[in-house]
Amino acid sequence: MAHPVANSVVVRVPGKINLQLSVGPKEADGFHGVVTVFQSISLYDDVTVTKVEIGAGLSLNISGDHVHSVPTDETNLAWRAAILMCQKHDLSADLRIDINKSIPVAGGMAGGSADAAATILAIDALFSLGQTREELHHVGAQLGSDVPFMLSGGTAVGRGRGDQVTAALSRGTYHWVLALSTLGLSTPAVYAECDRLREGMKVATPQVSDHLLQALLAADPQALGKSLVNDLQAAACSLRPALRLILDVGSEYGALGSIVSGSGPTVAFLVTDEDQALDLAVALTSSGVVGSVTRVSGPVPGARVTEVH
C-alpha cells in the first residue's frame, strides 16, 4: 500500500543540560576542545514544517515566551537546517516552519540547536527520505556542535566540539528544578571570559569524569549531585554575578547538586524527588533572585515526530 503524502509534520524536541562540561585550552582556530555529558530534559520546543505552494519559498514563525530576540530569517538555525536538507536532497524549499518555543533563548540549553535538529527530522519525515541516524547526525554536525545530540537525546558523552557523541549508560530518572532568566548570555562571550579568567594558567586536556558515569550507571542522584562540573560556571557567574545568589539558594534548600547549564544563565538544581522539586521551586520563586522556575526530569528521548498531517 502506498504511504499517504504528508503535508505537515510536527517534531517535539527537548532542551539539554550539561552534567559535565570540561573545557580544554583555546586552540589555534579560537575554539576549545570539550568533554561534556549531556542529558535531555523534559522542556520542549515544537517545530512544525508544512509544505506551501510552489514558488512561495521558505518562511519561519516563532511563538512562545521571550522570543523577541530570535531571528526569523536565514540566520535562524532551523532555517539553515531546512536549506541544507533541501539542497542535499534536491528539494525546493517551499516550506513554512512554525516554532513554538519553551526552551529558554540563549539559556545554555541549546534551543537553537534543538530547533535545527527538529527541522532536519521533520523534513526527513515530510518527504519520506528515510535517512539513517548517521546521515541525519552528519547534516546536524554541519549546523552546530550540539545538533547531533539533540537528534538522539537521552544521556551522552560529547567530545571534540561536543559533536562526537556516544550514548552513556544511565539508569533511573533524575528530577531537576531550573532557574530561568529572561536575559540570555552569549556563548562566545562566556568562552572569552573563561579564557580571561584562565590567563597564565596551564589548562589540562579534558577527560570524562568516571565518578559521574558511575553515578549515572548506579542511578545514584546523591553521587551525581556531587559530580556535576562546569568549567564555564565561573565565567558565567563573573558576567552575571546574580547567578551566585541563585546557586546559594539551591544549596541552602538542600539541593543534591547545583550547576550552571552550559554557558548559562540557566541554573539546574538536582533534587531527590518531585516533592523536593516543588519545595525548592517555591523557595526560589519567593527568594526574588530568580526570573522564573520550572520543574523537569531527564533523561528523555531526543527529537521525535509527534504528528503527521
Question: Does residue number 140 form part of the binding site for ligand ATP (CB under 6 A)?
Answer: no
Active site residue 226: no
Give the nearer residue to ligand ATP in terms of CB position, either 72 or 287.
Answer: 72
Residue 20-59 contact track with ligand ATP, rule CB under 6 A, x = bound:
----------------------------------------
Q: Which stretch binds ligand ATP (CB under 6 A): 75-83, 122-130, 207-215, 217-225?
A: 75-83
Can you tell me whether residue 13 is helix, strand or coil?
A: strand
Question: Does residue number 78 form part of the binding site for ligand ATP (CB under 6 A)?
Answer: yes
Nearest Cα to Cα of residue 84 among 49, 126, 136 = 136
Nearest Cα to Cα of residue 58 among 86, 95, 87, 85 = 95
CA angle 126, 130, 131 (to 5 degrees): 110
Question: Does residue number 14 form part of the binding site for ligand ATP (CB under 6 A)?
Answer: no
Pick the binder of ligand ATP from 46, 85, 115, 168 (CB under 6 A): 115
The residue nearest ligand ATP at its CB is: 112
Q: Strands, DSSP E only, in 4-88?
A: 8-26, 32-51, 58-64
| Residue 275 CB partners (closer than 8 Å, separation 6+) | none
Active site residue 202: no
Give the integer Cα–Cα distance in Å for 293 and 287.
11
| Neighbour tally for 209: CB within 10 Å | 18
Task: Provide DSSP, 123-139.
Answer: HHHHTT----HHHHHHH
Residues 146-165 that bind ligand ATP (CB under 6 A): 146
- List 46, 146, 163, 231, catalytic entry: 146
Give the nearer residue to ligand ATP in terms of CB position, either 102 or 297.
Answer: 102
Q: Which stretch binds ligand ATP (CB under 6 A): 103-111, 153-161, 247-255, 297-305?
A: 103-111
> What Rg value do the Cα atoms of the chain yield, rounded?
19
Residues 225-254 that bind ligand ATP (CB under 6 A): none
Give the nearer residue to ligand ATP in terms of CB position, either 45 or 124.
Answer: 45
Can you tell me whether residue 68 is helix, strand or coil?
A: coil
Question: Does residue number 71 form part of the binding site for ligand ATP (CB under 6 A)?
Answer: yes
Q: Which stretch binds ligand ATP (CB under 6 A): 73-81, 127-135, 200-208, 228-236?
A: 73-81
Question: Does residue number 77 form part of the binding site for ligand ATP (CB under 6 A)?
Answer: yes
Helices (H), the chain: 77-88, 111-126, 133-143, 147-152, 187-198, 210-217, 221-227, 233-239, 242-252, 274-287
Pick the binder of ligand ATP from 93, 97, 106, 246 (CB under 6 A): 106
| Residue 46 CB partners (closer than 8 Å, separation 6+) | 10, 11, 12, 13, 99, 100, 118, 306
Question: Does residue number 180 form part of the binding site for ligand ATP (CB under 6 A)?
Answer: no
The residues assigned a catalytic role are 16, 146
Instruction: Give contact residues for ligand ATP (rule: CB under 6 A).
Output: 69-71, 76-78, 105-113, 115, 146, 184, 187, 262-263
